[in-house]
Structure 1
Amino acid sequence: MRFFLALISCASIIAASSASAETRVFIIANQADGYGVDQCLAKGETCGAQIARTYCQSRDFAQASAFRRVDPDEITGSVPKSGANCSHGHCDEYVAITCQR
């Protein structure tokens, strides 16, 4: 019986801690800035980690758990399909940054 109560207690603690952790994915336009920041984020390179973390912190999140390039076809409803945002041989790219509290 003690084992069963301990198991329930442990499960309650785990459930409470997961409920307090908030995760949100932000989709942002990945625009070339001349410094290579866009490539760090889009390619998931380590140089993009600080950029992603700063982005999350600017939105009151503690950390960035992931960042990657997102194909416009993966995004539903709010972003034009691939090729729709191209001008002068340059097409908009998007990056997903996952932030956690």
Structure 2
Amino acid sequence: MKLLPALFACSALLSASAAVADSRVFIVANQPDGYGIDQCLAKSESCGAHAALAYCQARDFAQALAYRRVDPDEITGAVPKTAGLACGRGGCNEYVAITCQR
């Protein structure tokens, strides 16, 4: 009968560790590429899925869970200034968050 509580504790521990997957959010500058991929990523459209997946796989992650535009105010830490750079189509100070999972 003492085995039953230990079995429950062990199964709870295993299910909790399986539920926590290794994921990471990458913040990247949203640069206009001439192909529209920047807008696909920024607007979370399905056309950005392949670019987000390729980004994650290049960093040894298996999949891209999400991708979206983020405001510089949402980012903690230093955001590089783009003053003096040529910014076409409003491409300066735009960032994309890509969530990758192993």
TM-score where L is the length of structure 1: 0.82
Corresponding residue for residue 22 of structure 2: 22
Corresponding residue for residue 98 of structure 2: 97
Q: Is 1:7 aligned to 2:2, yes or no?
A: no
Calculate the aligned-residue CA RMSD, in Å. Answer: 2.1
- Structure 1 unaligned runs (5+)? none
| Corresponding letter in the other structure for 2:71 | D
Give the total of aligned pairs. Answer: 97
Provide, for residues 11-45 of structure 1, a one-character-per-residue CA deviation record: whole Å limited to 9, x for no partner: 111123245x2111000000001100000000000
Corresponding residue for residue 65 of structure 2: 65
Q: Is 1:75 aligned to 2:75, yes or no?
A: yes
Question: How far apart, CA to CA, are the structure 2 residues paired with 1:14 and 1:93?
Answer: 39
Q: Is 1:85 aligned to 2:82, yes or no?
A: yes
After the TM superposition, which of the residue ranges 51-60 and 2-11 deviates more from structure 2? Answer: 2-11
TM-score where L is the length of structure 2: 0.81
From the two aligned structures, give the one with the greater strand fraction: 1
